[in-house]
Amino acid sequence: MRTVLLGAPGSGKGTQGELLSQKYGIPQISTGDLLRAAVAAGSELGKQAKAAMDAGKLVSDEIVIGIIRERLTQPDAAKGYILDGFPRNLAQAQALDEMLAALEQPLQAVILLDVDFEVLMKRLTGRRTCQVCGAIYNIYFSPPQEDQRCDKCGSDQLIQRSDDNEETIANRLQVYQSQTAPLVDYYEAQGKLHKVNGTDEVTEVAKHIGQILETAM
């Protein structure tokens, strides 16, 4: 299964990607997570990406396409994957199509998580992520059972992402509108786009995506 989760910041790509990864036993490949790991490790790539990420702008196509090219050739991606946060503009989508055409493994489905912009701001300012296992919470909608402690791994390192402040979020939403939203038409023209209401309960959204993927496969 080769699929893309498309959607604005806060639409639930990470949340649904994790559920799909567990359900189907294939990796969730998030360019955001890979870039944040590079920043945390202080690598050269991380240093180049940091300023754009802090400003809520896109990191250069050259960097992210390079990351994806390398990641897709790793053995765990052979059975399929869920792309989360890539592609994010037309150049990236075209590069991905070319890469997959060369492998004779085209994308099978693109899921658009549709959420109103007013909801996104609250989701993002309220998000907390476990720094140890990556579990995602929301202090307004889905807090951990015990304050400041991860339900999954028990760590007390639930942090707020540095780009989840109102100013950067506004930039990220604007970048989504201008650069990523055109991919809806791009994938619709390929007959691969499936729109899902991303404001339902997490489990409902997951059920809907599961139905779409089973039909698409």
**Least distance to ligand G5P from the beta carbon of 14, Å?**
3
Of all residues in the shown chain, the one whose CB is closest to Mg ion is 14
* Catalytic (active site) residue 13: yes
- Is 186:93 a contact under the CB 8 Å cutoff? yes
Element (H, E) at 172: helix 166-175
For helices 202-216 and 13-24, angle between their N-to-C axes, nearest 10 degrees: 60
Distance CA 195, CA 191 (A): 12
* Catalytic (active site) residue 172: yes
Count CA within 13 A, CB hemisphere, residue 161.
29
Six-digit token string for 62? 């050259």
Among 15, 20, 209, 213, binds ligand G5P (CB under 6 A): 15
- Asked whether position 10 contacts Mg ion by CB under 5 A, the answer is no
**Least distance to ligand G5P from the beta carbon of 205, Å?**
5
Total of chain residues touching ligand G5P, rule CB under 6 A: 36
- Asked whether position 14 contacts Mg ion by CB under 5 A, the answer is yes
Residue whose token pair is 């509108």 = 177
**Least distance to ligand G5P from the beta carbon of 58, Å?**
4
Binding residues for Mg ion, per CB under 5 A?
14
* Residues involved in catalysis: 13, 88, 127, 161, 172
